Amino acid sequence: MIERIRNYGIVGVFGVLFVILAFTSQSFLSWQNAANILDQSSILFIFAATTTLSIIAGIFDLSIAAVATASAIMTVNAINSVGLVGGVILGVLFGGLLGLITGVAITKTNVNSFIGTLAASFTYRGFGLILAAGGLVSISDKQSAKTLSNVMEGKYLFGLKGAVLIAIALTAIMGVVLAFTVYGKKVYAVGGNWQAARLAGIRTNRVLISCYVISGIGAGVVGVVYAGRYGTGATNAYADTFAFTAIAATVVGGVSIFGGSGAIWRGSLGILTFALIGNGLNLLGVDTQYQQTILGLLIFAAVAADQFFRRTRTS
């Protein structure tokens, strides 16, 4: 019973919020409002999916916002050099490369992932400054800029923007991989007890490095989305608050910060819960300063609950 509460508590929280907002705001249930919520949360959906994978594996990646920023700049530079398709591919691969560098550096030196990825964040932001020559880079070919913008901002299935559909697709793929593949089982094993996993024959460092690479690829996609939306790559594209918000949403969604437990859908539902709080306060005309207070209390409650459930399970 306790384990079930831990696993599905976020569903109850989300449901209560949804019902309250449905009865207190006339415009909340409109499809346009739902589409706006998904659009505003699309970037965080991708970040939350890769963050959930990392936390389940027992690591943190605080560098995702910096990687996404550098990838946006690289995408623009690459499009200007090799064309639209090649530039997009290189932008995504660049994010994966940075993730690979981070993963190898941390696993080889045994540096704590929190500190290691924090250092990587500073490094990649500096690298972004170098790539952008300290400023802003823009897609020089107007047709390429327009095409990429149409992909990201154009409305497609059910009136959802391309960026939203990309976020949903990546989240779904991550969920399937984690829940139904051998690789996913290895991620859970490493996060639950990496020493036992290593003794069982799992190459733990390879699994951890792969998580950093996937995190980097996700950030690379986020960088491409930015380039598509704005036609530019900026050194201030994504603040580190994106990484912290993704981690917070994952924890609120019921993913244990100690690793070995959780699911991709929980992180996504955590993002939606945050979005409902912000959207609901806006619709009700409540001062947005209360949003941060509510989110802070929610995060603290989620971590406290995680501690409680762990103590209950081991006692």
**Is 13 inside a domain boundary?**
no
How many C-alpha atoms does 211 have within 13 Å on its Cβ side? 33
- In angstroms, how far is CA 143 from the centroid of its own chain? 30
**Residue 291 or residue 149, greater confidence:** 149
Domain that holds residue 177: 36-310
**Is 9 inside a domain boundary?**
no
pLDDT in tens, 86-138: 999 999 999 999 999 999 999 999 999 999 999 999 999 998 888 888 678 99
**pTM value?**
0.90
pLDDT in tens, 281-310: 777 666 666 767 776 777 777 666 666 665
**Is 16 inside a domain boundary?**
no
Is the pLDDT confidence value at 1 over 60? Answer: no
pLDDT the model gives residue 33: 84
Across 3-17, 181-195, 234-248, the highest mean pLDDT is recorded for 181-195
Q: Looking at residues 244-269, what average pLDDT do you find?
A: 86
**Is 129 inside a domain boundary?**
yes
**Is 183 inside a domain boundary?**
yes
Number of domains in the chain: 1
CATH number at residue 161: 1.10.3470
**Is 212 inside a domain boundary?**
yes
Residue 7: which pLDDT band, with cuts at 50, 70 and 90? low
pLDDT in tens, 168-220: 999 999 999 999 999 999 999 999 898 899 998 999 999 999 999 999 999 99
The total of other beta-carbon atoms located within 10 Å of residue 25's CB is: 17
Residue 36: which pLDDT band, with cuts at 50, 70 and 90? confident
- Measured between alpha carbons, how far is 144 from 231 in angstroms, rounded to an integer? 9
Instruction: Name 233's bridge partners.
Output: 137
Contact 153, 228 (CB under 8 A): yes
Is the pLDDT confidence value at 3 over 60? Answer: no
**Residue 297 or residue 249, greater confidence:** 249
Mean of all residue pLDDT scores within the chain: 87
**Is 74 inside a domain boundary?**
yes
Contact 218, 95 (CB under 8 A): yes
φ, ψ at 155 (rounded to 5°): -100, 135
Contacts of 26 (CB under 8 A, 6+ apart): none
Is the pLDDT confidence value at 226 over 90? Answer: yes
**Is 7 inside a domain boundary?**
no
